Structure 1
Amino acid sequence: MRPTGRGRHLRVAAVAALALALTATPGQPAHAEPTTLAEVRAELQRLYHDAAVATDKFNAADEKVTAQEKRVRTLRDQVRAAERKLDRLTASAGAAARAQYRSGTGASLPAELQFVFADDPEHALDGASLARRAQQSAADVVTALTATGEELRTRTDEATGILERLKRDRRARDGERTTIERRIAEAREVESRLSGPQLRALDALDAQAAKDAQERWVGTGVLESAGTTTTAAGKRAVEYAARQLGKPYVWGAEGPASFDCSGLTSQAWLAAGITIPRTSEAQWQGLPRVPVGSMRPGDLIIYYADASHVAIYVGNGEIIAAPRPGRSVSVAPAGSMQILGVVRPDA
């Protein structure tokens, strides 16, 4: 069970104290105490993972509000269009009735009188029947359009109610914002207490762990059946991601100056002409899944059991990802983290 509140704060302080104790003596390698440094690294990973989970929840709430706002705008536009059409139809029907009255045409008389006064009774019956059908047809259209307008207004009211509830939920998610910022601040506090040699040792530990994980993953033969070519859309998504290399990770960001992990992948596929869900969890739940061994460039690799991280596969066992706060969009080994699965936006 992970510590929370004061317990977590005390743990962070303890790890920071361990970091201070890791000052290397002259002539001694900075990684002379790998167990203690590994504990600092593990705590940093936990803090950044917690921040990533909270970021995904915050982004999901924000995406729901944005989507619902679009639905409400669409419904309101439809209501206005129906009202304008009904006004035009009503005005046209009134104008036609007035024209008939002024011209004194038989169509404005009851059918039985048209028959009595007509020179050609058979023609009068035909004309009266046509006029009656035309009037009934116009009345039916007005009735249907009125009913449509009322239904649209009802749907708009319901959608607006849903939007207000989602906005309240998003405001409640401000707690997620606080969690994100607190976890990042705690991680940076730990890192700030490390000396230059300690930070380099920590980076070396990260690199070695990633290398070892990649070697184990590649050793399973997973890349033997992986695709090396992709679709035109997949190629455009990879090219977009490659153009973002070096840009900083910022939680909640979707570019163009900075990205979080799912902000990068969703924008990469949007640039390819395909809209996908905003968050890594929604991408995992909503996009077609493919076997890891069948992945191809452009596919998205989802990481960790809670689907809290995502990257775009670029081929040759590598990904482009926005990793975490303090890092930039970069190329990394695809097997360096725990893979949950692979999804294909253009399946």
Structure 2
Amino acid sequence: MNRHRHALAAFTVACALTVLASPALTLQATAAPLPSPPPLPEKSLEEVRLEIDGLYREAATATDAYNLAEERAKRQSGEIVRLARMIENGRKRIEGLKAQAGAAARAQYRNGGLPEGAQLVLTNDPQLFLDNAGRLQEGQKATKDLISDLTRTQDELTTYAKEAGDNWTKLEAGRVKQAQAKKEINDKIEAAKKLESKLAADELARLRALELREQNRAQTAWLGSGILAGLSDRTSPEAKRAVEFATAQIGKPYVWGAEGPNSYDCSGLTQSAWIAAGRTIPRTSQEQWRLLPHIDIKDMRPGDLIIYFHDASHVGMYVGDGRIVHAPRPGRDVTITGAGTMDILGVVRPG
């Protein structure tokens, strides 16, 4: 009987061990299923609009950095070419001076190797002495002038070579900055396009309506401040020509880095317009803000440039009646809009 109870107990333990060792039950006992994560909240269309706007703003800032590096590269390349010409002219000048020195040495050799001073002392002819004395003084002055000219030219060559080397170093550094800015611009634009591509056609239409509503709200608030009171539409002939040029570009696409004639970025448009009016101004909106005379907004007149945002990353040309012509951003064309639709930093006057 005892033997039977022991066998039954042993069988029961074995069954229990088998069940516990079962993979399905082991997994069930040790890894209970995790609850599904809650779905991420979808962004509102207004949030998408602000994000897209921010990306294009960042692209505009990078575009200014690219344009500035491009402008400096052009100047440095031109300076390197100018210095190379001066170096070449200096080398030719040195060759000519060396030829003069060689001619003087050959003349001395033909005189028996005696310098003119020694020949002067050995002469017995008083008249010849007086004649040679004058020529000796002239010759000594010419020799000093020759040596001085040769030394000065060699010093200039050394300076030109150093300046050319410095400009080449700056040019290479500028190219690195250009490449970095170009990558940042493309990355920001692609990110903005990716956000827009996720929207359905009706959402894109609503997004555009939201943009227009926000612009109208900002423009209405700006006009409501009485900003146009006392403003005159009278302007200079040069500014009138600049406005005529800028408004003639309406409908042409925005392309970052473009200066026309088929496309523009914001500062490429304003610079081209003022060049057409006979006045050269800086290439970028940030440089236009930094270098052109600042005008109080109450004195603004057509042709003046309105600089936008705290980093001066956008610019438009005031055309009167509270409006600007500008190249807005990638995917948009040159257009006229309210001057108060964006955050105004200040106003500058090219001329």
Do these two structures clear the TM 0.5 threshold for a shared fold by scoring above it? yes
The answer for the alignment partner of 2:62 in structure 1 is 54
Instruction: Tell me, yes or no, if the aligned pair for 2:55 and 2:192 is still in contact at 8 Å.
Output: yes
- TM-score after normalising by structure 1: 0.79
The answer for the alignment partner of 1:298 in structure 2 is 303
Gaps of 5+ in 2: 1-39
Deviation of 1:48 after TM superposition, in Å, equals: 1.6
Q: 1:89 aligned to 2:97?
A: yes
| Match 1:113 to one of 119, 122, 125 | 119
> Which deviates more, 291-300 or 121-130?
121-130
| Match 2:84 to one of 76, 89, 92 | 76
| Match 1:38 to one of 46, 67, 76 | 46
| CA distance, structure 1, for counterparts of residue 194 and residue 162 of structure 2 | 53
**CA offsets per residue over residues 115-150 of structure 1, 9 Å max, x none?**
542441333322221221122122211221111112
> Which deviates more, 330-339 or 53-62?
53-62
**Compared CA separation, residues 218 and 141, structure 1 to 2 (3 A):** same
| CA distance, structure 2, for counterparts of residue 77 and residue 297 of structure 1 | 43
| CA distance, structure 2, for counterparts of residue 217 and residue 109 of structure 1 | 89
Deviation of 1:218 after TM superposition, in Å, equals: 2.2
Q: How many residues align?
A: 309
**CA offsets per residue over residues 268-322 of structure 1, 9 Å max, x none?**
2233333332222222222221112212222211101111111112222211110
Higher-Rg structure is: 2
| CA distance, structure 1, for counterparts of residue 182 and residue 175 of structure 2 | 15
Instruction: Tell me, yes or no, if the aligned pair for 2:241 and 2:277 is still in contact at 8 Å.
Output: yes
Instruction: Tell me, yes or no, if the aligned pair for 1:265 and 1:311 is still in contact at 8 Å.
Output: yes
| CA distance, structure 1, for counterparts of residue 93 and residue 231 of structure 2 | 56
The answer for the alignment partner of 2:152 in structure 1 is 144
| CA distance, structure 1, for counterparts of residue 230 and residue 316 of structure 2 | 20
The answer for the alignment partner of 1:336 in structure 2 is 341
1:99-248 alignment, distance < 5 Å: 109-114=115-120, 116-117=122-123, 118-120=125-127, 121-171=129-179, 173=180, 176-248=181-253
Gaps of 5+ in 1: 1-13, 19-35
RMSD: 2.7
The answer for the alignment partner of 1:327 in structure 2 is 332
| CA distance, structure 2, for counterparts of residue 267 and residue 88 of structure 1 | 46
Deviation of 1:195 after TM superposition, in Å, equals: 4.1
| CA distance, structure 1, for counterparts of residue 269 and residue 319 of structure 2 | 13
> Which deviates more, 109-118 or 204-213?
109-118
Deviation of 1:109 after TM superposition, in Å, equals: 4.4
Letter in 1 for 2:336: V
**Compared CA separation, residues 145 and 277, structure 1 to 2 (3 A):** same
| CA distance, structure 1, for counterparts of residue 274 and residue 76 of structure 2 | 22
**CA offsets per residue over residues 11-61 of structure 1, 9 Å max, x none?**
xxx79x65xxxxxxxxxxxxxxxxx44333222212221222222223233
Instruction: Tell me, yes or no, if the aligned pair for 1:233 and 1:272 is still in contact at 8 Å.
Output: yes
**Compared CA separation, residues 95 and 268, structure 1 to 2 (3 A):** farther
**Compared CA separation, residues 166 and 126, structure 1 to 2 (3 A):** same
Deviation of 1:210 after TM superposition, in Å, equals: 2.0
| CA distance, structure 1, for counterparts of residue 300 and residue 97 of structure 2 | 56
| CA distance, structure 1, for counterparts of residue 311 and residue 162 of structure 2 | 38
The answer for the alignment partner of 1:11 in structure 2 is none
Instruction: Tell me, yes or no, if the aligned pair for 2:66 and 2:177 is still in contact at 8 Å.
Output: no
**Compared CA separation, residues 304 and 91, structure 1 to 2 (3 A):** same
| CA distance, structure 1, for counterparts of residue 187 and residue 137 of structure 2 | 78
**CA offsets per residue over residues 166-199 of structure 1, 9 Å max, x none?**
333334x1xx433322332332233334444443
| CA distance, structure 2, for counterparts of residue 213 and residue 272 of structure 1 | 31
Letter in 2 for 1:110: E
SS of the residue corresponding to residue 248 of structure 1 reads: coil
SS of the residue corresponding to residue 228 of structure 2 reads: helix
| CA distance, structure 2, for counterparts of residue 157 and residue 279 of structure 1 | 27
**Compared CA separation, residues 113 and 225, structure 1 to 2 (3 A):** farther
| CA distance, structure 2, for counterparts of residue 232 and residue 97 of structure 1 | 66
SS of the residue corresponding to residue 250 of structure 1 reads: coil
**Compared CA separation, residues 113 and 344, structure 1 to 2 (3 A):** same
Instruction: Tell me, yes or no, if the aligned pair for 1:115 and 1:124 is still in contact at 8 Å.
Output: no
Instruction: Tell me, yes or no, if the aligned pair for 1:115 and 1:125 is still in contact at 8 Å.
Output: no
| CA distance, structure 2, for counterparts of residue 158 and residue 51 of structure 1 | 30
| CA distance, structure 1, for counterparts of residue 287 and residue 195 of structure 2 | 32
Percent identity of the aligned residues? 41
